[in-house]
A = this chain, B = another copy of it.
Amino acid sequence: MQINGECRVSRTAEETTPSPEDETGPARFDRIFGALRDRICLLAYPPGTVLSEVALAREFGISRTPIRRVFHKLEFMGLVQIRNGVGTIVTDIDLKTLKETYDLRKRLAELMGELSPVEITPDHLARIDDLIAETRALAPIRGDYDALARIINRLQGLLSDLTGNGPLREIIELLYYRVARIWFTFLPQLGWDDAIENQINELREIRTAMANNDIRSVGQYRSIDLQRMLTSLSRVLSEP
């Protein structure tokens, strides 16, 4: 339990626009929402953190009202719980819900390739090549789990772009953001070398399927990887 005012984690490289003065209303909402979502997802606000409306309102130079709107969206997504008189608390996930979510994500990943598949473009291939290259470049810099998490986020973004069915894409993203931080919390226990190796293997599998323009296989590989993650998580979380 931490007050977000005290929890100034070294948010190095918060990759969002630095608050342009001429941004319109919805743009500001998206910027703040994305910033808070990423802080939660990337563990700058670990589960249990108490967020304060007034503190964040001060940080972003606005009043409580727009911050509350962002909080409500985060609550709908399941990332925080708003409790009257207490604060807005970053949620944790119990083991049962975590397993149910991964079971579902596995099946949705398979559907990704079956429902209105999209054509894979050279741009898509370039993006996954980038991810592979950056992961390899990251390997010697041992322990930068934050950078690794950002790469994993970008892989999810790429897979989203490969999901032709709009509602399915939306739901896959929603479930990803619900549980990604649990995986990120676990990564250090896996160890740097294993984490990097697993990640490169996953990226290479998916790249191979993409090169064959075989989205169905992309989904199948993703499903297998999710199963592997769930297995790793269960082993650690059930026997601490």
A168 at the interface (CB under 8 A from B): yes
Decide: A100 and B165 in contact? CB cutoff 8 A. yes
Chain B: which residue is nearest A76 at the CB level? B76
Q: How many copies does the complex hold?
A: 2
Decide: A116 and B103 in contact? CB cutoff 8 A. yes
A230 at the interface (CB under 8 A from B): no
Decide: A166 and B97 in contact? CB cutoff 8 A. yes
With A25-B84, A111-B107 as contacts: A167 and B76 at CB distance below 8 Å: no
Report the minimum CB–CB distance from A219 to chain B (whole Å): 12
Decide: B76 and A103 in contact? CB cutoff 8 A. no
A236 at the interface (CB under 8 A from B): no
Decide: B97 and A115 in contact? CB cutoff 8 A. no
Chain B hits for A76, CB < 8 A: 73, 76
With A72-B73, A171-B171 as contacts: A166 and B100 at CB distance below 8 Å: yes
Chain B hits for A175, CB < 8 A: 167
A101 at the interface (CB under 8 A from B): yes
With A107-B115, A115-B107 as contacts: A167 and B72 at CB distance below 8 Å: no
A133 at the interface (CB under 8 A from B): no
A211 at the interface (CB under 8 A from B): no
A104 at the interface (CB under 8 A from B): yes
Measured CA separation A167–B76 after assembly (Å): 13
- Contact partner, A104, options B25, B84, B168, B178, Cβ 8 Å: B168
Chain B hits for A136, CB < 8 A: none
**Chain A 69-89 residues near chain B, CB threshold 8 A:** 69, 72-73, 76, 84
Report the minimum CB–CB distance from A24 to chain B (whole Å): 10
Chain B: which residue is nearest A72 at the CB level? B72
Measured CA separation A69–B84 after assembly (Å): 15
Report the minimum CB–CB distance from A107 to chain B (whole Å): 5
With A107-B111, A107-B115 as contacts: A101 and B69 at CB distance below 8 Å: no
Measured CA separation A221–B45 after assembly (Å): 44
Chain B hits for A114, CB < 8 A: 107
Measured CA separation A8–B73 after assembly (Å): 30
**Chain A 114-151 residues near chain B, CB threshold 8 A:** 114-116
Measured CA separation A128–B178 after assembly (Å): 34
**Chain A 147-180 residues near chain B, CB threshold 8 A:** 165-168, 171, 175, 178
